[in-house]
């Protein structure tokens, strides 16, 4: 495999031999790819990143970097850079000294050090801050110093462990764009850890969703959004998350939800019994149209008017659902309403395993891939 590639084969980490921080993870990350590890706190994403970096020993499995086994390779020999959550800047050193610290350790010539430093600072807009100390910088500027330190190393792989979590919302959005543009300009492989699914959706070429140390799904962000492999991915990816509820399929192939019923959009789902049903908030409408074929009575609980859209919280039977409506809507609390949807937008999951039942979208993708 080419320089910049990272491959995990059955990678497992256990601290006591019983519980697993990471269990049987497999993935191949291509050179130049922006790959995101995402999941809730404690799911194993940072542990996986640390194993790739060589800061954690593997319990089992193999990690290959640049086409060669890295299990016994020291962190300093893996040809990677890392940006930490706390930036890890030396407070007594200037911006320039922090950026060049790694190059000095590697005994790069002073002329080359200066050249790389000026190029990185120019790229990140930090040229005017070279003589300042970290305490004189804002959070976003400190983040750029940490990025510049990674850039000057010129390593083919860069690891990032929740680097934006200490920034305010506006700066996070700005830095998301800057990091993505920087990665594309440099053409490096970036492996990025976050618990924020918005970061994962907007930054990654591909993403891996983790839960309790186990890989739930790997794929392009929109594929995971449109075709979640299970109920956990469906509920985790998306803001607001997918609405989920219990439903029953009867012997006639009808789906019963909170006293309403309708035909299944895919005959392969026709297995009598309990299921879990999902619908995205943006697929709920307050007015019927030619595309809607199902209605459901609800009670409006709260509204959040955001200017360009309105978020409604509503009671649908015993469940609390969210609807995302374009424009500005004004409702009285506790008012009754009817929501309309297209059954083709439904997601159906097995009641016991939470695994997604096959849908028509998946079939079309498979058929297109086989052409």
Give me the residues of the chain with pLDDT under 50, please: 360-371
**Rounded Cα distance, 343 and 295, in Å:** 10
> From its phi and psi, is residue 115 left (phi > 0), alpha (psi between -120 and 50) or beta?
alpha
Query: Who's near 363: CB < 8 A, 6+ residues apart?
Result: none
For residue 1, the model assigns a pLDDT of: 58
The percentage of residues in the chain with a pLDDT greater than 90, rounded to a whole number, is 54
360, containing H or E segment = helix 360-370
Which residue in 227, 209, 228 sits closest to 218, CA to CA? Answer: 209
Instruction: Return the closest-CA partner of residue 98 out of 67, 52, 133, 57.
Output: 133
Locate the DSSP E strands across the chain.
6-14, 20-29, 34-38, 60-65, 68-69, 80-83, 157-161, 189-194, 206-211, 214-219, 243-249, 254-257, 260-263, 273-279, 294-305, 309-316, 319-326, 336-341, 347-350
Distance CA 34, CA 305 (A): 34
Instruction: Check whether the bond before 240 is cis (ω within 30° of 0).
Output: yes
Quick check: helix, strand or coil at residue 210? strand
C-alpha span between 170 and 183 (Å, rounded): 20
Is pTM, for the whole model, over 0.75? yes
pLDDT at 330: 83
| Inter-CA distances, 229 with 201, 218, 219, 233, 350, Å | 16, 9, 10, 7, 11
97 close to 145: Cβ distance less than 8 angstroms: no
* Cα 111–chain centre separation: 40
> 54-112: per-residue pLDDT in tens?
999 999 999 999 999 999 999 989 999 998 887 788 999 999 999 999 888 888 899 99
Answer for the pair 31, 8: CB distance below 8 angstroms, yes or no. no
Q: Which of 19, 81, 16, 22 is nearest to 51 (CA)?
A: 22
The token pair at 139 is 């959070």
DSSP three-state, residue 132: coil
Report d(CA 298, CA 335) in Å as an integer: 9
Q: Which domains does the chain have, with CATH numbers?
A: 6-226 (3.40.50.300), 240-370 (2.40.50.140)
Structure tokens at 335: 């008012």
> Among all chains, which residue has been given the structure tokens 């990677």?
80
> Which residue, chain included where needed, has tokens 């070429």?
205
Query: What distance lies between CA 22 and its chain's CA centroid?
Result: 17
Rounded to whole angstroms, the Cα distance separating 140 from 129 reads 13
Token look-up 């497992």 returns 12
Sheet with strand 309-316: strands edge to edge: 319-326, 309-316, 294-305, 336-341
Dihedrals φ, ψ of 116, to 5°?
-65, -40
């Amino acid at each position: 495999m080419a320089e910049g590639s990272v491959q995990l084969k059955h990678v497992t980490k256990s601290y006591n031999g019983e519980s697993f921080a990471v269990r049987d993870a497999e993935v191949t990350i291509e050179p130049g790819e922006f790959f995101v590890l995402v999941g809730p706190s404690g799911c194993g994403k940072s542990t996986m990143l640390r194993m790739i970096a060589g800061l954690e020993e593997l319990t089992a499995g193999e990690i290959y970097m640049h086409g060669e086994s890295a299990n016994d390779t020291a962190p300093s020999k893996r040809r990677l850079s890392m940006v930490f959550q706390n930036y890890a800047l030396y407070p007594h050193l200037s911006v320039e000294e922090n950026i060049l610290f790694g190059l000095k350790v590697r005994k790069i010539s002073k002329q080359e050090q200066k050249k790389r430093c000026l190029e990185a600072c120019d790229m990140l807009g930090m040229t005017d801050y070279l003589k300042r100390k970290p305490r004189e910088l804002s959070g976003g500027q400190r983040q750029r110093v940490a990025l510049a330190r990674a850039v000057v190393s010129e390593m083919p792989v860069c690891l990032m462990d929740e680097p934006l979590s200490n920034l305010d919302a506006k700066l996070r959005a700005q830095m998301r764009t800057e990091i993505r543009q920087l990665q594309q300009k440099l053409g490096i492989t970036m492996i990025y850890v976050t618990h924020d699914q918005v970061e994962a959706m907007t930054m990654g070429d591909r993403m891996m969703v983790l839960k309790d140390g186990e890989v739930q799904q790997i794929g392009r962000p929109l594929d995971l959004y449109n075709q979640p492999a299970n109920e956990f991915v469906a509920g985790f990816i998306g803001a607001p998350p997918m609405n989920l509820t219990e439903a029953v399929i009867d012997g006639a192939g009808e789906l019963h939800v909170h006293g309403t019923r309708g035909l299944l959009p895919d005959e392969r789902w026709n297995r009598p019994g309990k299921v879990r049903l999902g619908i995205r908030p943006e697929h709920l409408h307050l007015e019927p149209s030619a595309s809607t074929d199902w209605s459901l009575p609800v009670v409006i609980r709260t509204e959040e008017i955001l200017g360009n859209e309105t978020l409604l919280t509503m009671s649908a039977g015993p469940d609390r659902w969210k609807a995302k409506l374009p424009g500005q809507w004004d409702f009285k609390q506790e008012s009754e309403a009817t929501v309309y949807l297209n059954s083709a937008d439904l997601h159906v999951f097995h009641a016991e395993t939470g695994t997604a039942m096959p849908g028509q979208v998946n079939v079309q993708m498979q058929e297109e891939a086989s052409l």
